[in-house]
Amino acid sequence: MRKEILLFIGLCLFVPFGISAQSKAEKKFERAVAMMAKTEYDKAEKLLLDIISDHDDFQPAYLALGEMYYAEKSFEKAKGMLLEVERIDDKYDFNAYMKLSDIYSREEKYDSAIVYLEKYLSLVPDSERYAERREEALHLISCFRFRIEALDNPVEFNPKNMGPNINSENNEYLPTMTADRSELLITRQILFNDGRQPEEDFYMSVRTEDEWDKARKVFDVLNSENNEGAGCISPDGRFIYFTRCYAQDGLGSCDIYVSERLGDKWGEPRNLGKNVNSPYWDAQPSIASDGRTLFFVSNREGGYGQSDIYYSYLQDNGEWTKAKNCGKVINTKGKELSPFIHPSNGRLYFASDYHCGMGGMDIFYSVLDNGRFVSVENMGYPINTSADETSLVVSPLGDYAIYASEREGGYGGLDLYAFELYDKARPVAVTYMKGNVRDRETGRAVKARLQVRDLSTGRIATESVSDSVNGHYLICLPIGKQYALAAQSPSYMFHSENFSLEGHNPEQAFEKDLELVPIVVGNSVVLKNIFYATDSYELLESSFVELNTLVRLLEDNPTLSIVVEGHTDNQGSEQYNMTLSEKRAGAVVDYLKEKGIESARLQAKGYGFSRPLETNDTEEGRAKNRRTEIKITGK
């Protein structure tokens, strides 16, 4: 308050007094200004009220009272005084109109708020000095028009408190869940009555049937004497990225860390390093379903505003790329917080206090198109209100969301609420594929890298790594598409599959156990993502990803020799199919040679339909018999 009053006092030094009849009022006003400078506001108020009781057209006194009431947040009294300033001379002080606009916006009288902003713009000089103020006024007009539209067109919203198993008398916020919707991780702020600072810790709830069980404090390795919170669990439940403040190995006030779960145990947290963290505040991570793209918030230098959303990418060597700003479509001169990237990887939800909203922090979403954010949409009223709304997550199916809000009837402070999302705000639904990766011969768990590509585009849809203790994996995939899967691990032949999620029920897991074949002479595998033109040995472009994986296998194992075997179904003559199978195997060998693999390590053989895997009496059987295999002939 004192800062605002001192600014007003500085302006008062330039107020002209030239009417002799008001000399007594002028002297009183000067005394009142002196009292305000000494923070004797009660005395100043009394003197100013005396002035206007005797001189009801003495504008400086009305303006001084308006400024003082506004600074102490007595907005109704401030409005009355500032309206008197307008009554006496509507061109006297354009700053009064900015304050009147703010007061009317607090009353949700947005039409009046716009009127006073337009008056402000008509009076404020159109010069470089006032350019930023004019820009701010125009921005506010846009936002008030948005609020009028939003209030007239509310979205469907029926939030339900998640109950005492999740919420407590403390604050709960920043929820995150696994892709199979079986685990919910929340941050709980513990308040103390003995003067200690509040403490943030992690709590986990497990879903049983259709209910969440009692959230329990977990992960002793994560909940240390430091302040931990603002975490996210990866869609497969294998990693937790979280914020830790004032740690000995920290680079700034708060840094982002990661812990990996192996079996049932969580590993020691690791700082993500200087490519992600900075000497400033870095927090609120959200990991994409590919397990590699991390979004987070930072107030580091070089951003657009007070806090911006950044992203970094995990490389094959385990290092994170240097964090990049998400750009001006997302970030503003205000604060952007609590990013959440949906498992479909096509929509980013976040909070902002500057994008046009209902006031305070609002929740927004932005659509990703070919890796670029193309628009920002407000989630609408009454999801957003004049209070702060933050930390929203959306279920993998996209049908409902969870967010933190302080509402009447809650358990205390911020509680977590779930609500059904209206259609426009829903992302593409994703399902999850899960299974175990094991050694085909021993049955032991194998740590393997899994990569899934969209067959229609050839682009990587997601990546994951199976658990080295139990071999388990879980990956998120949008429904309605066809995919190619490749699993790789040192000392094993790579494993490939192709499958379709067209018509798949997203509420049910797509289960696929994988058996990896050790690199041993005599072992063979089927290349399930090698495709040829119909009745031809011409390789289709969609085969190149798998062929390049085979190239890397041969490069990584320079003494390995293989034979490529072609097989067909029984449609057509024996000679036709024998020739076709030989040429198809030869086409694969030719591709490998073009990529630099020595001819001496490669053979091609065709078997026609002489070695079927299944009956040729059904289309399903014939499809399995049409295949390309590789067999190890030397190691």
What's the rounded mean pLDDT across residues 169-179? 89
What's the rounded mean pLDDT across residues 407-413? 85
Please report, for residues 83, 180, 493, 604, the alpha-carbon distance to residue 598 in angstroms, rounded to integers and kept in the order given: 88, 46, 19, 13
DSSP 569-594: -SSS-HHHHHHHHHHHHHHHHHHHHH
CA-wise closest residue to 474 among 500, 529, 526, 513: 513
Q: What pLDDT score does 81 carry? A: 95
Quote the Cα angle for 370-373-375, to 5°.
125
Q: What pLDDT score does 225 carry? A: 66
192 and 303 part of one domain: yes
160 in any annotated domain: no
45 and 60 part of one domain: yes
CATH, residue 295: 2.120.10.30
633 in any annotated domain: yes
Q: How many domains does the chain have?
A: 4
Does 388 have pLDDT greater than 70? yes
388 and 436 part of one domain: no
458 and 471 part of one domain: yes
56 in any annotated domain: yes
Give the structural domain span for 106: 2-152
54 in any annotated domain: yes
Place of tokens 């385990």: 318
135 and 175 part of one domain: no
Residue of 298 and 431 predicted with greater confidence: 298
Does 7 have pLDDT greater than 90? no
For residue 221, the 8-state DSSP code is T
Using CA atoms of 490, 496, 502, 506 in order, give the dihedral in degrees to the nearest 10: -30
Handedness of CA 271, 277, 282, 288 (dihedral sign): negative
* Alpha-carbon gap, residue 481 to 500, rounded angstroms: 6
* Residues 83 and 93: beta-carbon distance below 8 Å: no
536 in any annotated domain: yes
Does 20 have pLDDT greater than 90? no
Question: Percentage of residues in the chain with pLDDT exceeding 70?
Answer: 94
Q: Which of 106, 122, 152 is the last residue of a domain?
A: 152
- The rounded radius of gyration (Å) of the Cα atoms in the chain is 33
Q: Which of 405, 425, 445 is the last residue of a domain?
A: 425
* Residues 531 and 544: beta-carbon distance below 8 Å: no
What's the rounded mean pLDDT across residues 74-79? 96
398 and 323 part of one domain: yes
CATH, residue 607: 3.30.1330.60
* Residues 235 and 432: beta-carbon distance below 8 Å: yes
Residues found in the chain: 635
CA-wise closest residue to 173 among 404, 338, 363: 404
Question: Percentage of residues in the chain with pLDDT exceeding 90?
Answer: 59
634 and 529 part of one domain: yes
Q: What pLDDT score does 369 carry? A: 85
Does 405 have pLDDT greater than 90? no
**Per-residue pLDDT tens over the stretch 416-453:** 999 999 999 999 888 889 999 999 999 999 999 999 98
What's the rounded mean pLDDT across residues 230-239? 86
230 and 141 part of one domain: no
What's the rounded mean pLDDT across residues 169-180? 89
Q: What pLDDT score does 534 carry? A: 85
449 and 536 part of one domain: no
157 in any annotated domain: no
Q: What pLDDT score does 327 carry? A: 95
What's the rounded mean pLDDT across residues 42-70? 92
31 in any annotated domain: yes
Return the number of other C-beta atoms located less than 10 Å from residue 474's C-beta: 21
* Residues 519 and 492: beta-carbon distance below 8 Å: yes
What's the rounded mean pLDDT across residues 603-611? 92
476 and 603 part of one domain: no
198 in any annotated domain: yes
137 and 20 part of one domain: yes
Structure tokens at 157: 């919203």
Q: What pLDDT score does 223 carry? A: 63
Q: What pLDDT score does 5 carry? A: 53
Q: What pLDDT score does 575 carry? A: 94
403 and 458 part of one domain: no
164: alpha, beta or left, given left = phi > 0 and alpha = psi -120 to 50?
alpha
CATH, residue 437: 2.60.40.1120
Handedness of CA 288, 294, 297, 303 (dihedral sign): negative
Q: Which of 410, 425, 440 is the last residue of a domain?
A: 425
